[in-house]
Copies of this chain bind each other. A is one copy, B any other.
Amino acid sequence: MAGGRPREFDVDEALDQAVRVFWQRGYEGAALSDLTEAMGINRPSLYAAFGNKESLFRKALDHYTDQKAVHVRDALDEPTARAAAERMLRGAVEVSTQPGCPAGCLSLQGGLAMGEDAVATRERLADWRRSGEAGLRDRFERAKADGDLPADVDAADLAKFVVLVAQGISVQAADGVDRERLHRMVDIALTSWPA
């Protein structure tokens, strides 16, 4: 069938830059001119390849999930519930303080509160945050069945607490706290781990 002029930019590299801009400026704070400049492409190229701004953010968030927030998935493979929690939290520290990336995590920097026209994006981010918690809760349920966690602990509460701490870490990182101090926060959080 068809040929057509080949794309002059790499979609993944462009998404990398889009992630960076959204990460640093937030969804609403990231202007299209910021995005196109960072991605090194013109506006129509952006729209042809990624749709509109909301759709670009969706793709950037997926990209971020696969590339930066891998600890959210990988933590579930740890042999114990405690190791899973620790990997989750250490991963949050590392991602939130990665050199060359904006401080904090995209899921919070993207935006908690937004204008009326961005409600869908706000809800998408909230869902993203909740999804990490769901995986952890299932993992902790399994740990209870395995006897890895005491039967009287509430897996849902524990998962929520771990995610809550991870989010606190991201906020602190956004406010400029360095890696070592954040790892000490993880130490403190984990001292409450159920025996």
Contact = CB atoms under 8 A, between A and B. Distances in A.
Given A102-B113, A185-B157, A130 B168 contact: no
Interface stretch (A7-15, A53-61, A176-184): A176-184
Interface in A144-195: 154, 157-158, 160-161, 163-169, 171-172, 174-177, 181, 184-185, 188-192
B108 A111 contact: no
Contact of A167 (B111, B115, B171, B192): B171
Copies of the polypeptide in the assembly = 2
Interface stretch (A23-31, A42-50, A69-77, A135-143): A23-31
Given A171-B129, A175-B130, A29 B115 contact: yes
Contact of A113 (B29, B154, B184, B190): B29
A120 interface: no
Interface in A91-140: 102, 104, 108-116, 118, 126, 129-130
Nearest to A129: B175
A24 B113 contact: yes
A188 B176 contact: no
Contacts of A172: 160, 163-164, 167
A8 B104 CA distance: 44
Nearest to A172: B164
Contacts of A164: 165, 168-169, 171-172, 185
A112 B174 contact: yes
A111 B157 contact: no
A91 to B, nearest CB: 16
A114 B29 contact: yes
B108 A171 contact: yes
A110 B113 contact: yes
A171 B111 contact: no
6 contacts: A29-B118, A30-B115, A34-B116, A108-B171, A157-B184, A167-B167
